[in-house]
Amino acid sequence: MPDTAIDPDFGFTSDELDPEKCPVRQVLAQVGGKWTVLILELLQHGPRRFNALGRAIPDISKRMLTQTLRDLERDGLVSREVFPTKPPSVQYALTPLGVDLMKAMGGLLDWAWTNFDKVKTARDVYDATP
Amino acid sequence: MPDTAIDPDFGFTSDELDPEKCPVRQVLAQVGGKWTVLILELLQHGPRRFNALGRAIPDISKRMLTQTLRDLERDGLVSREVFPTKPPSVQYALTPLGVDLMKAMGGLLDWAWTNFDKVKTARDVYDATP
DNA sequence: CGGAATCCCACGGGATACTG
DNA sequence: CAGTATCCCGTGGGATTCCG
């Protein structure tokens, strides 16, 4: 009895995958950005200034650093505080919501560090057999 | 003593953010795909056939369904089994590695469901004050 | 120092048609 | 049924220049 009981289809009411209604897709669209998680990780070490973040990420442009920070600020994940010093300084920090997000991401980040070599191996195997 | 002790810079040796060396960035690049997590979530309910997945995700094209499944298979997250029936049927399933990834993603997915309304609110507030 | 404005391109992904 | 093959376009993101 090989091929029985497959494909009873799902019971999904297509409410959890609705393009703009699904929180997961919305959050992933943000988090999936090229620099988003990197910046959030850096800010976990404490508040940092614009150019400090820039120096910590050598291959990011000011354009993308600004834009990513703006998006994070807009989503309430990062706060922005301006100090009116001689040359103005701006400090960014995680909000409580941002801290919470990073805690929630812990599992995924750990998985990435401990399992990515398996993924790499799988890729090599797959690529070696066409 | 307002503005002291900011910006002592990071001690990062730029090893955790190296474009291609950082597992996090690699994994996120994959997971950040438009359909990746959606498909993985569906496969958590058990093995499914190609068109069953397609029907469960109304707004995906066969092109992207194929491509996403291929990428997941290549990374060792999803297995592909062909049954040589009259019209051939192909079954996809999570591998142990894929199951493990989804467990690791649990925290993030939960966060998305329970906190996205806060993000939406933050966006509305931000957008309403230019 | 911390941006905003502009230009530009690669590529992720949609639509459509054909196939074993 | 389960794909492959083309064509095509929007936009994420890089490089550069200018500003308070």
Task: Kindly list the strands in the beta sheet with A89-94, ordered across the sheet, starting from the edge strand earlier in the chain.
Answer: A48-49, A89-94, A78-83
If you average pLDDT over residues A29-55, what whole number do you get? 95
pLDDT value of position A78: 98
For the segment B100-108, the average pLDDT, to the nearest whole number, is: 97
Report pLDDT for A43.
97
- Confidence band of B18 (pLDDT split at 50, 70, 90): low
- Strand D close to B90 by CB, under 7 A: yes
What is the mean predicted confidence (pLDDT) over B65-72? 98
What pLDDT band is residue B93 in, cutting at 50, 70 and 90?
very high
A115 CB neighbours in chain B (<8 A) are 97, 100-101
- The Cα–Cα gap between A2 and A9 comes to 18
Return the C-alpha torsion angle A18, A24, A25, A26, nearest 10. Answer: 100
pLDDT of residue B89: 95
Q: Does B2 touch chain A (CB under 8 A)?
A: yes
Q: Give residue A5's pLDDT band: very low, low, confident or very high (50, 70, 90).
A: very low
Q: What is the pLDDT of residue A95?
A: 98
Would you say A37 and B24 are in contact if contact means Cβ atoms under 8 Å apart? yes
**Beta carbons within 10 angstroms of residue B116's beta carbon:** 17
Q: How far is the CA of B126 from the C1' of D6 (A)?
A: 43
Torsion of CA B32, B44, B79, A3, to 10 degrees: -150
> What is the distance between the alpha carbons of residues A70 and B106, in angstroms, rounded to a whole number?
27
- Residue A62's pLDDT band (cuts 50, 70, 90): very high
A residues 43-72 near B, CB within 8 Å? 45, 47-49, 52, 55-59
- Mean pLDDT value across residues A1-11: 44
Per-residue model confidence as pLDDT tens digits over B34-61: 999 999 999 999 999 999 999 999 889 9
- Per residue in A79-92, pLDDT (tens digit) is 999 999 888 999 99
When pLDDT is averaged across residues B82-102 and rounded to a whole number, the result is 95
Rounded to whole angstroms, the Cα distance separating B77 from B24 reads 16
The β-bridge relationship of strands B89-94 and B48-49 is antiparallel
pLDDT band (50, 70, 90) for residue B31 = very high
| Rounded mean pLDDT, B76-83 | 97
Strands A89-94 and B78-83, by their bridges, are unpaired
What pLDDT is stored for residue B5 in this prediction?
A: 38
Residue A16: in which H helix or E strand, if any? none
pLDDT number for residue B7: 39
| 3-class secondary-structure state, position A58 | coil
Q: Which residue of A has its CA nearest to B11?
A: A56
Query: Nearest nucleotide (C1') to the CA of residue A71?
Result: D12
Structure tokens at A10: 């799902």
DSSP type of residue B15: -
Mean pLDDT within B77-98? 95
| Residue A4, token pair as written in the block | 């029985």
Number of H helices, E strands in chain A: 5, 3
- pLDDT category of residue B10 using cuts at 50, 70 and 90: low
Does the beta-carbon distance from A59 to B23 stay under 8 Å?
no
Mean pLDDT throughout B90-110?
A: 97
DSSP string, B65-124: HHHHHHHHHHTTSEEEEEE--SS-EEEEEE-HHHHHHHHHHHHHHHHHHHHHHHHHHHHH
Q: Is B8 helix (H, G, I), strand (E, B) or coil?
A: coil
- Per-residue model confidence (pLDDT) at position A39: 96
Written as one letter, the residue type at A106 is G
